[in-house]
Amino acid sequence: MQETLKIDGNLNRPDVNFNSVSGELWISGRSIVENAIRFYEPLVDWIEVYCENPAQITELHLKLEYFNTSTSKYLLSIVELLHDLYSSGKEVVIYWYSSDEDMLELGEDYDAMIGIPFKFMEYSV
């Protein structure tokens, strides 16, 4: 397994910084990628492998100022993988950063669906 997975973002693609040693998984920026499968499948694959031998604590930081519907599907897949890890007794925390009411409501929807402790954080764009 790669110890880290890093992708530099741009106007349409988020920054990704996953670290298997620290257990910190960051996705931040905007996600309006045209081909969500090509962008997010490697992230999902990395997390699947990570979950076989996770850090003591796993923290997913989702700091997205905007994301489209196809991104939403992959975010849900990622959160579901971490739910399985959480259900196996591992410590998992999801930090949902929001800069407006709409993003906060989306985070609350994910929180209600998944059942992992979400910590809601506000930030300014």
Confidence label for 66 from pLDDT (cuts 50, 70 and 90): very high
CATH code matching the domain that covers 4-122, chosen among 3.30.450.20, 3.20.190.10, 3.40.640.10, 3.30.750.24: 3.30.750.24
* Lookup result for tokens 């880290």: 4
Enter the tokens of residue 117.
């402790």
Confidence label for 125 from pLDDT (cuts 50, 70 and 90): confident
Is the pTM value of this prediction over 0.85? yes
Residue spans of the domains in the chain: they are 4-122
Dump pLDDT digits (tens) for 88-114: 999 999 999 999 999 999 999 999 999
Dump pLDDT digits (tens) for 2-26: 999 999 999 999 999 999 999 999 9
Distance CA 57, CA 26 (A): 14
Beta bridge partners of 57: 91
Beta bridge partners of 27: 16, 62
Let me know how long the chain is.
125
Are 11 and 27 a contacting pair, CB within 8 Å?
no
